[in-house]
A = this chain, B = another copy of it.
């Protein structure tokens, strides 16, 4: 039932590689899943994670070495509007700080030159609700860890990590269910919208209501998942 709005709904399988996270979009024509893809513009061995960098430094203590912090950058593509482009900057700033709380030795996001894309390339997209998806895409890449399978998410983030409400809950839930999603992350402030949905639409879905990015992180990467 229902025709996907974007014909690349589910371009990935049940699991996604590190750096790729499924989000939920909403247009006047209905909901859709979308993916945020982030990749490094430079090879992993040149943008070594904390451990590798420490090993290299131990092996060559006197070698000149690049700054451990600084130089991090992010370019975006996918016909993102102004608000979504700003979202990517907020996500980058938040992910950089969040990565340090997870692993103080991991300076990947502080140094990596990254490229974030949101297929399809010719579909205009805008709005702040991919915030949590973007942060998670960046962290997934920095930690070299895929997110849990069958997961989709939506939510604006503030620069300090608060998760703010979004629109189109019903359409997004329909799109998630249609795409075979099992776990869906939604802002706590949208819980009232979710509980009012017909039970049929929520069948097979486990909702996770989140107030801060901490909560998102635990669902996406946590051992308790």
Chain B contacts of A32 at CB under 8 A? none
Asked whether any CB of chain B lies closer than 8 Å to the CB of A100, the reply is yes
Chain B minimum-CB-distance residue to A38: B159
Chain B contacts of A116 at CB under 8 A? 159
State how many angstroms separate the Cβ of A97 from the closest Cβ of chain B. Answer: 6
Given contacts A8-B165, A122-B127, contact A159 B42 (CB under 8 A): no
Q: What number of A residues sit within 8 Å (CB to CB) of B?
A: 55
State how many angstroms separate the Cβ of A40 from the closest Cβ of chain B. Answer: 8
Stretch at the interface among A52-60, A85-93, A201-209: A85-93
Determine the distance from Cα of A158 to Cα of B117 in the docked complex, in whole angstroms. Answer: 8
Chain B contacts of A40 at CB under 8 A? 97
Determine the distance from Cα of A131 to Cα of B121 in the docked complex, in whole angstroms. Answer: 10
A120 CB contact (under 8 Å) in B43, B69, B156:
B156
Determine the distance from Cα of A70 to Cα of B110 in the docked complex, in whole angstroms. Answer: 16
- A160 and B42 contact, CB distance less than 8 A: no
A119 CB contact (under 8 Å) in B75, B96, B164:
B164
Given contacts A42-B70, A79-B83, A160-B39, contact A128 B122 (CB under 8 A): yes
Given contacts A70-B42, A79-B83, A83-B79, contact A90 B164 (CB under 8 A): no
Asked whether any CB of chain B lies closer than 8 Å to the CB of A7, the reply is yes
- B122 and A162 contact, CB distance less than 8 A: no
- A79 and B82 contact, CB distance less than 8 A: yes
Asked whether any CB of chain B lies closer than 8 Å to the CB of A49, the reply is no
How does the 8 Å CB contact mask read for A55-78 relative to B, with 1 for contact and 0 for none? 000000000000011101001011
Chain B minimum-CB-distance residue to A69: B46
A41 CB contact (under 8 Å) in B77, B93, B156:
B93
Asked whether any CB of chain B lies closer than 8 Å to the CB of A30, the reply is no
Chain B contacts of A128 at CB under 8 A? 120-122
Given A83-B121, A93-B115, 11 additional A-B pairs, CB 8 A: A11-B162, A17-B160, A19-B160, A37-B158, A37-B160, A42-B96, A43-B69, A79-B83, A119-B159, A120-B128, A120-B164
